[in-house]
Amino acid sequence: MKLLEISGLTKSFGGVVAVNDLSFSLEKGQIMAIIGPNGAGKTTLFNLITGVYPPTKGSIVFNGRDATGLPAHRIATLGIARTFQNLQIFNNMTVLENVMVGQHTRSTTGLMGAVFPMGPVQREERKVVENSLEKLAMVGLADKAMESAPNLPYGRQKMLEIARAAALEPELLLLDEPAAGLNSTETRELVNIIYELRDRGITILLVEHDMETVMEIADQIVVLNFGNKLAEGTPFEIQNNQEVISAYLGEEEF
Ligand SMILES: Nc1ncnc2c1ncn2[C@@H]1O[C@H](COP(=O)(O)OP(=O)(O)OP(=O)(O)O)[C@@H](O)[C@H]1O
Ligand SMILES: [Mg+2]
């Protein structure tokens, strides 16, 4: 079953066509990688899918529903979550609070909380905490829950962002360069976390420059070049595609 269908998607910024007439689809349960040189339009594609800005042309269908041009908060409620190429960690919060952000539908400080001290608001809050701790455990940060988030090393902060996105229990998770800045041990952990997410039924779309990781985990790869789709296929097909090799991969072995 197709979870995401992108058709003729185009985004222009003034004279720059960042994404140009792009079409591809993503099967439920797949891990798909978007690769391509710097400035190819990968992050712009993520920003279009998540409603950061509307496309200039084309359509985005998620779960059979037209999601084209919907604002970011609506896209999130449809079941799409993401992480960012540049870390977005709240520095004045604990690790746990950073995962809890975004899950709240109601505030515990409101009138309901004051009037019913053991009521539905508290139960809701406890569910949020439990869910957040479970996601922290999944990324290996259970014992860091009460630490100040900026005290974590960079690699841990990236895992924290994945935990936050996973805590929204999305159907589709977009990861923008999750391996960037990670050492080889952390990259192994990341690969295992991505498999765990997939095993939990989450479909994964990731942008990544680390070709070893991409070729290992991706079921399908879409190659972007100057906003255009240069190729699409399995890791084997992409590694043996002459156009891709000359535009991006070079002649090195993978
Ligand atoms: N908000 C914006 N306003 C104007 N131009 C933009 C904007 N966002 C992206 N661009 C331009 O669109 C093009 C694609 O950028 P994008 O960030 O999508 O590339 P990318 O493939 O993610 O690159 P990288 O691998 O370096 O992260 C670039 O030329 C960029 O300068
Ligand atoms: Mg980018």
The DSSP code sequence of 85-121 is SS----TTSBHHHHHHTTT-SS-TTSHHHHH-TTSHH
Same domain flag for 158 and 190 = no
Residue 224: the pLDDT is 97
Residue 107: the pLDDT is 47
Query: Closest by alpha carbon to 135, among 100, 186, 181, 177?
Result: 100
* Residue 18 in contact with ligand 1 by CB distance below 6 A: yes
Which CATH number characterizes residue 216's domain?
3.40.50.300
Same domain flag for 174 and 69 = yes
Residue 202 to residue 179: CA distance in whole angstroms: 19
pLDDT in tens, 215-239: 999 999 999 999 999 999 999 999 9
Looking from the CA of residue 47, the nearest atom of ligand 1 is 18
Question: If you average pLDDT over every residue of the chain, what do you get?
Answer: 93
**Could you list the residue range(s) of the whole structural domain that residue 34 is in?**
1-79+170-254
65-66: strand order across its sheet: 16-27, 2-13, 57-62, 65-66
On whether residue 84 sits in a domain, the answer given is no
* Residue 20 in contact with ligand 1 by CB distance below 6 A: no
pLDDT in tens, 93-145: 999 999 999 787 544 555 555 566 667 777 888 899 999 999 999 999 999 99
* Residue 38 in contact with ligand 1 by CB distance below 6 A: yes
Residue 118: the pLDDT is 67
Q: Which residue's alpha carbon is nearest to atom 12 within ligand 1?
A: 18
Per the structure, the count of domains in the chain is 2
Q: What mean pLDDT is predicted for residues 165-169? A: 97
Token reading at 87: 């870390």
Q: pTM to 2 decimals? A: 0.93
* Residue 44 in contact with ligand 1 by CB distance below 6 A: yes
Last residue of a domain, one of 163, 195, 213: 163
Choice from 9, 13, 45, 46 to test ligand 1 binding pocket (greatest atom count within 8 A of CB): 13
Q: Which amino acid is at 3?
A: L
Same domain flag for 71 and 190 = yes
Residue 88 to residue 143: CA distance in whole angstroms: 21
> How far away, in angstroms, is 179 Cα from ligand 2 center?
13
Residue 103: the pLDDT is 87
Percent of the chain's residues with pLDDT above 70: 93
Same domain flag for 50 and 70 = yes
Same domain flag for 72 and 180 = yes
